[in-house]
Amino acid sequence: MSAYEALKLSFHRIACLDEASAVLSWDASAMMPDGGAEARGEQMAVLAGLSHEFLCAPEMGETLAQAQAPEGWDAQNLTLMREAHLRATALPRDLVEAQVRAGRACETIWRAARKTSDFAAVQKALAEVVRLTREGAEILGQALGLSPYEALMSQYQRGINAAQAEVIFTRYEAFLREALPRAEALQAARGHATLPPGPYPEAVQAALARRLSAGAGLNFNAARLDISAHPFCGGTPTDIRITTRYDEADFCAALMGVLHETGHALYEQNLPAAWRRQPVGAAAGMAMHESQSLIVEMQAVRSDAYLSYLAPLAAEAFGKPITVAGLKHRLRRVERSFIRVEADEMTYPAHVLLRFRLEQALLTGGLAVADLPGAWNEGLQALLGITPPDDARGCLQDIHWFDGAIGYFPSYTLGAMAAAQLMAAARKALPDLDGALGRGDLAPLTGWLSAHVHQRGSSAGFNEILVEATGEALNPAYFEAHLTARYLT
C-alpha cells in the first residue's frame, strides 16, 4: 500500500484506542463503583500511552515524510495527521501518562470534595494536575510556536487564539454591563408566571427527556441516556453516551441538559461516515461542538415556537398545569447566579470569562492553586456582583480543571456566538422554521446543520465552516442581536 494508505490504517487503530478510552471515561462517570477509580486511572493512562507511542513511532515520522495525498479531503487529512504527530512527539510518553493518572485521581477526590464544599481536600491533587498541565503546555507551546495557554486552547479549538478570544470576551463584558440591568428591569416590570411545584418524578423526567431527544433526531439504537454528577456527551459516533442529573423539584434542569447533550450527540452521529476514524472525519473543534449543543438547546428549544409545543407535552407527562408562560419564566429568566450550567444565556458568558482569566493565571503561575477560591469569588463579584456562599457553588462546581481540561472553557461562549450566527442563517434558508419548531420538529434545522456543519467534519476550520454556512467568520453581533431580541424588547 502507499505511504498515505498506511497512515490511514495507523490512524484508524489510534482512533480505536481513543474510542476505548472514551467509553471507559463514560463508565467512570456514570457506572463505575468508587473502588474502581485507581484501576481505571491506570487503564486509561496505558491507553493514552499506547496512542502516544503509535503516534511517535519512528516509522510514523518516516511514513509521514514519504506520504503524498490527492487534493481535497485527503490532503486535509494528511495535514491533520502531521499536526497530530507534531503534537505527540513534542510530549514525553511518561508525561502523557502522568497527566492522565493525575486527572483521574483528582477527579475522584473532587467528586467527594464538591459534595462537602471542601476545597482543601482536593487542593493538593489539583496543584499536581496544574503542574503537569503547565509542564506539557510549555513543551507543546515551544513545538507549535504558541504561548503555553494557546497551545492548550488549540487542543480544543484550532484557529482561535487567546488574544482573539480576549477581544471577543471584552466586547461582551461591555455589552453585558449595559444589557443585564435593562433585562432585569424589564422582567421586574412585566411580572411572571411560575411552574407548579414538584415533585416531578425522576422516571417521568427521564422518559420525557428521552422522547424529546429522540424527537430531535438522536438515534437511540446507537446511544444511551444515563446519570452522572455533571452532564456530558461521550462515547463514539456509533455508540453515543449522554448523561444528565435529575432534581425532582425542577424538571427543566435535566430536560435542558439532555437536549444540550443531544446537540452534541447529533453532531457526532452525523459526522461523515466515509471518513470515520480519520482526523478529517472528526468534529471541527469544541467551539463548533458547543455551537451544535447550544443551537439545539438555546436557539431552538427555548424559542417561543418550541415552548408552545413543550408546555402541553410536559403538562400531560407530569399531570400538572405547566404553561408556556411558566416555562418562559423558568427557562428564559435572566438572573445573576452562581452555577455556570444553570446560568441563563445572557450571564453565562460571564462565567466563561471568569474561568478563561483564572485558568490563564493558574497556568502562568500568577495565581497559586491555594488562592483559587478567593480569586474566584472576587472575579464573580466583579463580573456579576455576587459572591458564592461556599466553594461548592464556586471553584468546585466544574469538573474540567480537576480532570486536566484547561483551555476548554473559551469554547463554550465562542460556540454560543457561533450558534446564534448559524441560527440566523438557518432562518433565512428555512422560512417556516418556527412552524416546524412549533410542532416539535427539529428535522429541518438538524438537516440544515448536517449539510453545513456535521458532514463537513474537519475538512475546514471553525471560521471557514462559518463563512461557507453564513457568509462571514465569527461575528459576536449575532449573539448580541439574539439576546437583545429575546430579553430587551
Give the per-residue SS3 of 223-272.
EEEEECCCCCEEEECCEEEEEECCCCCCHHHHHHHHHHHHHHHHHHHCCC
**Cα–Cα distance between 263 and 216 in angstroms, integer?**
9
SS3 (DSSP) at 475: coil
**Cα–Cα distance between 76 and 397 in angstroms, integer?**
38
Burial group, residue 302, by CB count within 10 angstroms (0-12, 13-18, 19+): buried
The residue assigned the cell 467527594 is 112
Candidate list 97, 107, 261, 297, residue with the active-site label: 261
235 forms bridges with which residues in the sheet?
240
Query: Which DSSP category does 300 fall into?
Result: I
Please list the pLDDT of the chain residue by residue as tens digits (489 residues).
899 999 999 999 999 999 999 999 999 989 999 899 889 989 998 999 999 999 999 999 999 999 998 899 999 999 999 999 999 999 998 999 999 999 989 999 999 999 999 999 999 999 999 999 999 999 999 999 999 999 999 999 988 999 999 999 999 999 999 999 999 999 999 888 899 999 999 999 999 999 999 999 999 999 999 999 878 999 999 999 999 999 999 999 999 999 999 999 999 999 999 999 999 999 999 999 999 999 999 999 999 999 999 999 999 999 999 999 999 999 999 999 999 988 999 999 999 999 999 999 999 999 999 999 999 999 999 999 999 999 999 999 999 999 999 999 999 999 999 999 999 999 999 999 999 999 999 999 999 999 999 999 999 999 999 999 999 999 999 999 999 999 999
Name all contacts of 459-465 with Cβ < 8 Å and 24+ positions apart.
459/72, 459/73, 459/76, 459/280, 460/76, 460/284, 461/158, 461/159, 461/284, 461/285, 462/157, 462/158, 462/159, 462/160, 462/284, 462/285, 462/287, 462/288, 462/418, 463/159, 463/160, 465/284, 465/288
**Cα–Cα distance between 41 and 24 in angstroms, integer?**
10
Among 480, 345, 351, 479, CA closest to 417: 479
Residue-wise pLDDT tens digits, 398-438 = 999 999 999 999 999 999 999 999 999 999 999 999 999 99
Q: Is 21 left (phi over 0), alpha (psi -120 to 50) or beta?
A: alpha
Q: Find out whether 363 and 406 touch, Cβ atoms under 8 Å.
A: yes
Among 441, 462, 162, 481, CA closest to 289: 462
**Cα–Cα distance between 210 and 216 in angstroms, integer?**
10
Cell readout for 438 is: 412549533
Residue-wise pLDDT tens digits, 193-213 = 899 999 999 999 999 999 999
Q: Find out whether 174 and 167 touch, Cβ atoms under 8 Å.
A: no
Please state the pTM of the whole predicted model. 0.93
Give the chain's end-to-end CA distance (angstroms, integer).
63
Amino acid at 197: P
Q: Where are the domains of the chain?
A: 3-156
Q: Count Cα atoms within 13 angstroms, Cβ side, for 154.
A: 19
Among 251, 217, 245, 241, CA closest to 231: 245
Q: Does the annotation mark 83 as catalytic? A: no
Q: Find out whether 84 and 8 touch, Cβ atoms under 8 Å.
A: no
Which residues have a Cβ under 8 Å from the Cβ of 182 and sit 6 or more positions away?
488
Which residues have a Cβ under 8 Å from the Cβ of 428 and sit 6 or more positions away?
none
pLDDT at 347: 98
Q: Find out whether 52 and 95 touch, Cβ atoms under 8 Å.
A: no
Q: How far is CA 399 from CA 100, 231, 241, 404, 458, in A?
A: 14, 10, 17, 9, 27
